[in-house]
A and B are shown apart, each in its own frame.
Chain A
Amino acid sequence: MIARIIIDLFLLLGCFFAFAGVVGLIRMPDSFTRMQSSTNIATLGVLWTVLGVAIYAFMNNNIAFGIKVILIGVFVVITSAISGHAILRGAYKHGIRPDNLVVDEYRRDNPDE
């Protein structure tokens, strides 16, 4: 019973963070702030839900299932950082700038790009 309450709590936290990320992705004013808000889905939203599912699988003696779920979660969390970094550089080189840009240190460090 206690374990079921804990699993529900984890699933609820995952739903909350995913909802916050989606609201930020729709409502934010700028491309780069929207990108920052989409990271919320891929890290915390995935991680809490995957932890809840893995606890449920381990509780039912379903070891292979739990290990596979944790592997998928770790894969998504690691690759979201990589793809976010790549698409940020791509957006900068494509000519997209933030709205209220004050200091541009990337341009200062790489003046020929």
Chain B
Amino acid sequence: MIEFVYVGIFYALLALMLLYRVLKGPSVVDRAVAADSIDILTVVALIVFSIFSNRSIYLDIALVLAILGFLGTVLIARYLEGRL
């Protein structure tokens, strides 16, 4: 199904649009939230690409990327609280 390619390209373009908020964001929280959103969009694009190309190795990469993004965001939050 060719629609999966269109959806993946659309999600990649959305991630590129979010780079504006990462570069400009006034506070550190905006940058962290935008980076987390970029991570989630990349995970979804990898899922869609893996079902298109019918290889499940991209699915494992997406799972690892989701776990690492969650850990990074929680770590930044702990650092902002001052308990790290």
Contacts and interface: CB of A to CB of B under 8 A. Distances in A.
Interface of A: 4, 7-8, 11, 14-15, 18-19, 21-22, 25-26, 31, 34-35, 38, 41-42, 45-46, 49-50, 53, 56-57, 64-65, 68-69, 71-72, 75-76, 79-80, 82-83, 86-87, 89-91, 93-94, 96
Contact of B47 (A19, A50, A90): A50
Contact of B66 (A18, A35, A79): A79
Interface of B: 1, 3-4, 7, 10-11, 14, 17-18, 20-21, 26-30, 32-34, 36-37, 40-41, 43-44, 47-48, 51, 56, 59, 62-63, 66-67, 70, 73-74, 76-82
A49 B29 contact: no
B73 A31 contact: no
Contact of B27 (A7, A25, A46, A96): A96
A8 B6 CA distance: 11
A46 B36 contact: no
Main secondary structure of the interface of B (DSSP, over half): helix
A38 B36 CA distance: 9
Contacts of A89: 77, 81
Contacts, number: 137
Contacts of A68: 56, 59, 63
B17 A26 contact: yes
